[in-house]
Homo-oligomer: A and B are copies of this chain.
Amino acid sequence: MQQLVEDLMSGSRRAAARLISLVENDAPLKRELLKEIFPHTGKAYVIGVTGAPGSGKSSLVDCLLQQMRADDLKIGVIGVDPTSPFSGGAILGDRIRMQEHALDRDIFIRSMGTRGSLGGLARATREAIQVLDAFGKDVVLIETVGVGQSEVDIVRTADSTMVVLTPAGGDSVQTIKAGIMEIADIFVINKADLPGAERTATEINMMLDMKESDQWRPPVLSAVSVRSEGIGAVWDCLKDHRRFMEESGRLMEIRRERVRRELTEQVEYLVKNRIWDQVKEQIELESLLEKIVLRREDPYSAAYELLEQINFYSEG
């Protein structure tokens, strides 16, 4: 593993891919690995891009990649599909369109799926970002499809979040989920050549007017990504937001929160492991379960007694 981390540092794409697979599969040596790369992280800026399927997110990301490359940035892209249990499932198709970028040595593209748990996906995404950060990427772009809470959890890892919409046509933007409204730092109305683009922008701005004022008011931009229109402004706006985050101290703040979450998870992981090891050694768990199934004991009292038996409450 030491070797893998060294290869990562020296720019091996294979090492990066291997290491992301390790965190995605929750490999036993994952924590050792994250510990190893941690000192080399904290440099990449993380941009989240989210929006409904069909909003043209991927072609917008495509265009943005060109802008970023023109600024000579090294980029990692993580495509996350919370609706797919497969790594590289539904959005692999989108990824294929990015193949021209895939040939570019300074862009690294990877897809991730749920593998059974949404909580696990948000964590794996965070860890994959760490790998790409240590890998030396200047920007890590997380693109996520899906609806509602799952994408909110994933995008919460980003330093700047862009929400992509399409002109609402007959529908109103009321259908935008509340959670999405709150995570957006920048709104982009893509396919803005379709009817209703202006009305959609107006509606979003009205919704923003109702929010408490903040130091940063999310701009509402328009783009037609298939014709590469409006992309320069989107990229400028992302840079503006980054500058705001850095200068206002917000970036430091959210990164501190992220570190807090990391530490919390790690503490709880260690604690749980040790507790269950002790329980396994000392407690007849199956007969206890039997008693609960038969309603002779409730799980709440049983949990307490179990911890008393392993002397959890005697110390500290």
Closest CB of chain B to A27's CB: distance in Å?
15
Contact A148 B266 (CB under 8 A): no
6 A-B contact pairs sorted by A residue (CB < 8 Å): A35-B301, A42-B295, A85-B179, A149-B150, A269-B303, A312-B316
Interface on A for B, CB 8 Å cutoff? 31-32, 34-35, 38-39, 41-42, 82-86, 114, 116-119, 121, 146-150, 153, 177-179, 252, 255-256, 259-260, 262-263, 266-272, 274-275, 278-279, 288-290, 292-293, 295, 298-304, 306-307, 310-316
A299→B82 contact, CB < 8 A: no
Contact A307 B267 (CB under 8 A): yes
A275 with B267: in contact, given A38-B300, A177-B83, A259-B292 (CB under 8 Å)? Answer: yes
Is B289 within 8 A of A259, CB to CB?
Answer: yes
A266 contact set on B, CB distance < 8 A:
299-300, 302-303
A117 nearest in chain B by CB position: B149
Distance to closest chain B CB from A214 (angstroms): 20
Give A175's nearest chain B residue, CB to CB: B90
In the bound complex, residues from chain B placing their C-beta under 8 Å from that of A252 are: 293
- Asked if residues A259 and B177 are in contact (CB atoms below 8 Å), the reply is no
The 10 tightest CB contacts between A and B, nearest first, are: A83-B148, A266-B303, A315-B315, A38-B298, A35-B300, A262-B299, A267-B303, A263-B299, A83-B147, A114-B149
In the docked arrangement, what's the CA distance between A88 and B293, Å?
32
The residue on B at minimum CB distance from A120 is B149
Contact B31 A85 (CB under 8 A): no
Contact A267:B39 (CB < 8 A) given known A117-B149, A146-B148, A148-B146: no
Task: Chain B residues near A32: list those with CB within 8 A.
Answer: 300
Contacts of A313 in B (CB 8 A): 274
* Smallest CB gap from A303: residue in B: B266
Report which of B82, B119, B268 forms a contact with A119, defined as CB distance below 8 A. Answer: B119
State in angstroms the CA–CA spacing of A119 and B278 once bound together: 26
Q: How far is the CA of A302 from the CA of B315 in the complex (A)?
A: 21
- Are A149 and B316 in contact, CB atoms less than 8 angstroms apart? no
**Given A149-B116, A300-B35: A271 and B267 interface contact (C-beta under 8 Å):** no
Contacting pair A178 B267 (CB below 8 A): no
Contact pick for A306, options B116, B267, B316, CB 8 Å: B267
Given A259-B293, A300-B266, also A177-B35 (CB < 8 A) = no
A270 to chain B, nearest CB (A): 6
CB nearest neighbor in B for A259: B292
- Complex contacts, A290 vs chain B, CB 8 Å: 256
Known: A85-B177, A300-B38. A307 touches B148 (CB 8 A): no
Whole-angstrom distance from the CB of A278 to the nearest CB of chain B? 5
**Which of B117, B153, B262, B316 meets A310, CB within 8 Å?**
B316
Q: Which of A32, A119, A299, A314 has the most CB of B within 10 A?
A: A299
